[in-house]
Structures are given as structure tokens and as C-alpha cells.
């Protein structure tokens, strides 16, 4: 369910990931996902979500905001009742930690092409 969103985050913010530790990078990715999820639950329209979140001056490095459009498309495609029951930020952070080595290999392959 989250795998496509994870790939979108990796591809969108790949340059930023090189500068951050595994734990920091995964934490930031989870924070971005949580911000999108909360915006949806708060009734922010999808077309306004990126601007709304960026205007709130989030704590993550700016490059992570590049993933907002892709994550928004994912979150806004889900039913609200699923969003109320599931912490997608925590799921994304854990998947990132669990799959870190695979993600790094994928990034290397993409950068060499």
C-alpha cells in the first residue's frame, strides 16, 4: 500500500537523502507523510496541500517537501476512514528503515543511468 509512496519520496528527495543519516532521513519522510495525512483529515483541499504545509514551515529540510505532490496524490486517493485508523507516517518511516539498503541501491542505479 505504501510502497509506491515510498518510491515517490525516494525519487523526489534523493539528493537530500545523501546528506542525512538513515534515521534522520526516514524520520523526515515519515513527518512529510504525516503532514499530508493530517492536512487531508483537516479538510485541506488537495490542490492547496503543498502550499498549506510549506507555509507552516515544517521542521524537515526543504528538499523533503519535493515529495509532497506525490504523497498528496497517494493520501488523497485513500478513504478518510482509512486515514483515521492508520498512521501512514509511522508506516512509511518503518518501511524506510527496513528497506534502507534496497533504497540506496535503487538510488545508485538511477543515478548511474
Q: How far apart are CA 67 and CA 80, in angstroms?
A: 21
In the chain, the number of structural domains is 1
Q: What is the pLDDT along the chain (113 residues), one digit of tens a residue?
A: 566 555 656 555 555 555 788 899 999 999 999 999 999 999 999 999 999 999 999 999 998 999 999 899 999 999 999 999 999 999 999 998 998 888 888 877 877 76
Q: Which domain holds residue 64?
A: 3-112
Cα 45 to Cα 14, 50, 64, distances in angstroms: 27, 10, 20
Q: What's the start-to-end Cα distance of the chain, in Å?
A: 27
Does this model's pTM top 0.85? My answer is no
Amino acid at each position: 500500500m505504501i510502497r509506491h509512496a515510498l518510491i515517490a519520496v525516494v525519487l523526489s528527495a534523493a539528493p537530500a537523502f545523501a546528506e542525512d543519516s538513515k534515521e534522520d532521513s526516514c524520520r523526515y519522510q515519515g513527518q512529510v507523510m504525516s503532514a499530508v495525512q493530517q492536512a487531508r483529515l483537516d479538510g485541506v483541499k488537495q490542490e492547496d496541500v503543498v502550499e498549506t504545509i510549506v507555509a507552516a514551515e515544517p521542521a524537515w529540510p526543504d528538499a523533503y517537501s519535493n515529495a509532497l505532490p506525490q504523497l498528496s496524490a497517494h493520501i488523497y486517493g485513500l478513504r478518510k476512514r482509512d486515514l483515521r485508523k492508520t498512521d501512514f507516517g509511522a508506516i512509511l518511516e518503518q518501511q524506510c528503515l527496513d528497506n534502507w539498503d534496497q533504497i540506496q541501491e535503487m538510488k545508485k542505479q538511477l543515478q548511474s543511468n
